[in-house]
A = this chain, B = another copy of it.
Protein backbone atom coordinates (compact mmCIF):
# COMPACT_ATOMS: atom_id res chain seq x y z
CA UNK A 1 0.00 0.00 0.00
CA UNK A 2 2.91 2.32 -0.51
CA UNK A 3 1.91 5.52 -2.21
CA UNK A 4 5.18 5.88 -3.97
CA UNK A 5 4.72 8.03 -7.06
CA UNK A 6 5.50 5.42 -9.66
CA UNK A 7 4.65 7.52 -12.65
CA UNK A 8 5.85 11.05 -13.30
CA UNK A 9 3.29 13.74 -12.39
CA UNK A 10 4.06 15.33 -15.74
CA UNK A 11 2.56 12.30 -17.43
CA UNK A 12 -0.40 12.02 -15.11
CA UNK A 13 -1.27 15.59 -16.02
CA UNK A 14 -1.70 14.61 -19.65
CA UNK A 15 -5.33 13.75 -20.22
CA UNK A 16 -4.61 11.87 -23.41
CA UNK A 17 -2.08 9.75 -21.58
CA UNK A 18 -4.65 8.70 -19.01
CA UNK A 19 -7.22 8.21 -21.74
CA UNK A 20 -4.92 5.91 -23.61
CA UNK A 21 -3.86 3.92 -20.56
CA UNK A 22 -7.34 3.37 -19.23
CA UNK A 23 -8.57 2.72 -22.74
CA UNK A 24 -6.00 0.07 -23.46
CA UNK A 25 -6.58 -1.61 -20.12
CA UNK A 26 -10.30 -1.59 -20.78
CA UNK A 27 -9.94 -2.93 -24.25
CA UNK A 28 -7.77 -5.79 -23.13
CA UNK A 29 -10.10 -6.71 -20.31
CA UNK A 30 -13.02 -6.52 -22.65
CA UNK A 31 -11.26 -8.92 -24.96
CA UNK A 32 -10.62 -11.27 -22.07
CA UNK A 33 -14.20 -10.99 -20.89
CA UNK A 34 -15.56 -11.81 -24.32
CA UNK A 35 -13.33 -14.85 -24.69
CA UNK A 36 -15.72 -16.71 -22.41
CA UNK A 37 -18.28 -16.33 -25.17
CA UNK A 38 -15.91 -17.25 -27.92
CA UNK A 39 -16.17 -13.90 -29.65
CA UNK A 40 -13.97 -10.86 -30.11
CA UNK A 41 -14.67 -7.17 -30.10
CA UNK A 42 -15.41 -7.01 -33.80
CA UNK A 43 -17.83 -9.90 -33.49
CA UNK A 44 -19.65 -8.01 -30.78
CA UNK A 45 -19.78 -4.91 -32.95
CA UNK A 46 -21.21 -6.85 -35.88
CA UNK A 47 -23.84 -8.55 -33.76
CA UNK A 48 -24.82 -5.21 -32.26
CA UNK A 49 -25.07 -3.58 -35.68
CA UNK A 50 -27.21 -6.40 -37.04
CA UNK A 51 -29.56 -6.27 -34.11
CA UNK A 52 -29.81 -2.50 -33.96
CA UNK A 53 -30.13 -1.88 -37.67
CA UNK A 54 -31.37 -5.15 -39.10
CA UNK A 55 -29.92 -7.33 -41.86
CA UNK A 56 -27.15 -5.88 -43.95
CA UNK A 57 -24.61 -6.88 -46.53
CA UNK A 58 -21.01 -7.33 -45.52
CA UNK A 59 -20.10 -4.23 -47.42
CA UNK A 60 -22.62 -2.18 -45.51
CA UNK A 61 -21.38 -3.57 -42.23
CA UNK A 62 -17.83 -2.73 -43.16
CA UNK A 63 -18.66 0.86 -43.99
CA UNK A 64 -20.79 1.33 -40.93
CA UNK A 65 -18.34 -0.14 -38.47
CA UNK A 66 -15.19 1.00 -40.21
CA UNK A 67 -13.91 -2.51 -40.75
CA UNK A 68 -12.06 -3.49 -43.87
CA UNK A 69 -14.15 -5.88 -45.97
CA UNK A 70 -11.39 -8.44 -45.92
CA UNK A 71 -11.26 -8.38 -42.14
CA UNK A 72 -14.98 -8.78 -42.01
CA UNK A 73 -14.71 -12.15 -43.65
CA UNK A 74 -12.93 -13.53 -40.61
CA UNK A 75 -15.67 -12.19 -38.38
CA UNK A 76 -18.32 -13.85 -40.48
CA UNK A 77 -16.40 -17.09 -40.47
CA UNK A 78 -16.54 -16.97 -36.69
CA UNK A 79 -20.19 -16.09 -36.36
CA UNK A 80 -21.83 -18.03 -39.19
CA UNK A 81 -20.66 -21.58 -38.33
CA UNK A 82 -21.86 -21.07 -34.77
CA UNK A 83 -25.33 -20.15 -35.95
CA UNK A 84 -25.14 -16.63 -34.56
CA UNK A 85 -25.78 -15.06 -37.94
CA UNK A 86 -27.24 -16.32 -41.16
CA UNK A 87 -25.62 -15.62 -44.48
CA UNK A 88 -28.06 -15.87 -47.36
CA UNK A 89 -27.51 -14.65 -50.87
CA UNK A 90 -29.56 -11.58 -51.62
CA UNK A 91 -31.99 -12.81 -54.35
CA UNK A 92 -32.06 -9.35 -55.94
CA UNK A 93 -28.27 -9.21 -56.17
CA UNK A 94 -26.70 -12.56 -55.80
CA UNK A 95 -23.21 -11.13 -55.36
CA UNK A 96 -23.96 -9.85 -51.93
CA UNK A 97 -24.98 -11.66 -48.82
CA UNK A 98 -27.83 -10.63 -46.63
CA UNK A 99 -26.48 -11.15 -43.16
CA UNK A 100 -29.07 -11.62 -40.45
CA UNK A 101 -28.63 -12.12 -36.74
CA UNK A 102 -30.28 -15.27 -35.40
CA UNK A 103 -32.12 -15.67 -32.12
CA UNK A 104 -29.04 -17.45 -30.82
CA UNK A 105 -27.03 -14.45 -31.88
CA UNK A 106 -29.33 -12.07 -30.06
CA UNK A 107 -29.14 -14.21 -26.95
CA UNK A 108 -25.37 -14.26 -27.05
CA UNK A 109 -25.25 -10.55 -27.71
CA UNK A 110 -27.33 -9.91 -24.63
CA UNK A 111 -25.02 -12.03 -22.54
CA UNK A 112 -21.97 -10.32 -23.97
CA UNK A 113 -23.40 -6.90 -23.20
CA UNK A 114 -23.88 -7.95 -19.61
CA UNK A 115 -20.28 -9.09 -19.56
CA UNK A 116 -19.28 -5.73 -21.01
CA UNK A 117 -21.02 -4.00 -18.14
CA UNK A 118 -19.05 -6.22 -15.79
CA UNK A 119 -15.83 -5.20 -17.43
CA UNK A 120 -16.82 -1.57 -17.05
CA UNK A 121 -17.50 -2.06 -13.37
CA UNK A 122 -14.11 -3.69 -13.08
CA UNK A 123 -12.14 -1.06 -14.94
CA UNK A 124 -14.01 1.80 -13.31
CA UNK A 125 -14.05 0.22 -9.87
CA UNK A 126 -12.72 3.43 -8.35
CA UNK A 127 -15.70 5.41 -9.58
CA UNK A 128 -19.17 5.38 -8.09
CA UNK A 129 -22.34 5.05 -10.10
CA UNK A 130 -22.74 8.77 -10.66
CA UNK A 131 -19.14 9.25 -11.72
CA UNK A 132 -19.35 6.40 -14.20
CA UNK A 133 -22.42 7.92 -15.78
CA UNK A 134 -20.67 11.27 -15.91
CA UNK A 135 -17.61 9.74 -17.52
CA UNK A 136 -19.76 7.97 -20.05
CA UNK A 137 -21.52 11.17 -21.06
CA UNK A 138 -18.24 13.04 -21.40
CA UNK A 139 -16.73 10.29 -23.51
CA UNK A 140 -19.80 10.13 -25.66
CA UNK A 141 -19.61 13.83 -26.28
CA UNK A 142 -15.90 13.72 -26.98
CA UNK A 143 -16.32 10.76 -29.30
CA UNK A 144 -19.02 12.53 -31.25
CA UNK A 145 -16.69 15.48 -31.66
CA UNK A 146 -13.88 13.49 -33.19
CA UNK A 147 -13.67 13.71 -36.94
CA UNK A 148 -15.69 10.79 -38.23
CA UNK A 149 -12.97 10.03 -40.73
CA UNK A 150 -10.39 9.83 -37.99
CA UNK A 151 -12.69 7.91 -35.72
CA UNK A 152 -12.03 4.55 -37.25
CA UNK A 153 -9.35 2.58 -35.53
Stretch at the interface among A71-79, A89-97, A125-133: A125-133
User: Interface of chain A, helix or strand or loop or mixed?
Assistant: helix
The answer to whether the Cβ of A143 comes within 8 Å of any Cβ in the partner chain is yes
- Counting contact residues on chain A (CB < 8 A from B), the size range is 35 or more
Q: Is the CB of B142 within 8 A of A138?
A: no
Give the residues from 129 to 148 in chain A that come closer than 8 angstroms, CB to CB, to chain B.
131-132, 134-136, 138-146, 148
The answer to whether the Cβ of A59 comes within 8 Å of any Cβ in the partner chain is no
Contacts of A30 in B (CB 8 A): 16-17, 20
Q: Of A23, A48, A146, A151, which is in contact with the most chain B CB atoms at under 10 Å from its CB?
A: A23
Given known A-B contacts A123-B142, A141-B126, A145-B126, A48 and B8 have beta carbons under 8 A apart: yes
The answer to whether the Cβ of A6 comes within 8 Å of any Cβ in the partner chain is yes
B16, B116, B127, B143: the one within 8 Å of A27 (CB)? B16
Given A6-B148, A8-B52, A15-B120, 10 additional A-B pairs, CB 8 A = A7-B64, A11-B44, A14-B117, A21-B23, A22-B23, A25-B146, A123-B142, A126-B145, A127-B142, A134-B138
